[in-house]
Structure 1
Amino acid sequence: MTLDAHTQFHLGLLKQLHTLLSALTDLDHWSAESHSELLEELNGLCSALEQGQFDDWFSGQDVLCKVFNRYPQVAHLIPRDLLWFFGGDCLHFMPDEEIEAFQALDEQRHAAEQAGETFDWGKARQLQLSQDDGQRH
């Protein structure tokens, strides 16, 4: 089964997150075993997405929430797109303005799909971020 571009984009972000977490050596009060289990959960999430067998959004939310709670020192490095992708409890880590920005992207994506056009989430997100930066300066 081939993955749509939207899922592929987020799968890439999950793999980057796995790489980031794999490199952590400062685990604070979490055991190495607990850290390994979280990496396994993240790896399983990636595998399920790759195989097109992913339908448990709660497991994605659970893994990301664990990352935020266990490793606050890297919370700023977690791609915000993943929080939006999994939704639910992950949205608690996003301010309202950020949720609104992602809602706008989702609306663009759905409009493009309805029109039979391809939508590049990564490019649209970069454009949105560059516009946001321009408005702040």
Structure 2
Amino acid sequence: MATDRLEYHLALLTHLRTILVALGEAEQVPEESHALFLERFDDLMLQMPVDPESVYLGQDLMCQVIQRYPQIAHLVPRDLLWFFGGDCLHYMPDEEQQMYQTLEERRYEAEQNDEPFDWNQEKQLLSMSDDDSKH
């Protein structure tokens, strides 16, 4: 189960890296510092499967993505901000954090009962119920 969760977040990081590379190719950022940033980003992706402490590097890098590249901040997958937590949570409104907290509780409950859990499906259901409560 943890492997699936890790693979999911690595896939999101790969997607985000593609966006960062495109940003560099469009010459939207200083090339030298961007290349160094991508190296650190790649290091994170290599460390995550083997080093649980890499979450701290992930927090730092996600915050840097938002600070260094504000033009793509809206493209940063929200799941990554929640996954890395810490200072990343400053970029999420309270309502969104509450939704993710509920998701985590549902995931934990499913794991305790050896039941399958589809993160994306549950997230969609929660966001629909939030939309209904706003109308």
Question: SS at 1:81's partner residue?
Answer: helix
- Kept in 2, the 8 Å contact 1:6–1:120? The answer is no
With over 3 angstroms needed to count, the CA separation of the structure-2 counterparts of 1:54 and 1:121, relative to structure 1, is: farther
* Alignment TM-score, normalising by the size of structure 1: 0.86
Q: Deviations over 1:2-52 (max 9, x none)?
A: 96222121111111000011100212xxx2111111111111212223xx2
Question: SS at 1:4's partner residue?
Answer: helix
Q: For residue 34 of structure 1, what is the aligned residue in structure 2?
A: 33
Q: For residue 9 of structure 1, what is the aligned residue in structure 2?
A: 8
The residue identity in structure 1 corresponding to 2:119 is W
Q: CA deviation at 1:121?
A: 1.3
- Kept in 2, the 8 Å contact 1:11–1:46? The answer is yes
Q: For residue 90 of structure 1, what is the aligned residue in structure 2?
A: 88
Q: CA deviation at 1:93?
A: 0.6
Q: CA deviation at 1:116?
A: 1.1
Report the number of matched residues: 131
Q: For residue 107 of structure 2, what is the aligned residue in structure 1?
A: 109
Q: Which runs of 4+ in 1 moved over 6 A?
A: none
Mapped partners of 2:36, 2:86: distance in 1: 22
Mapped partners of 1:122, 1:7: distance in 2: 14
Q: What is the aligned-residue RMSD (CA, Å)?
A: 1.7
* Sequence identity percentage: 47
Mapped partners of 1:60, 1:14: distance in 2: 10
* Alignment TM-score, normalising by the size of structure 2: 0.88
Mapped partners of 2:123, 2:8: distance in 1: 11
For structure 2, the residue ranges without an aligned partner over 5 or more in a row are none
Q: For residue 46 of structure 1, what is the aligned residue in structure 2?
A: 45
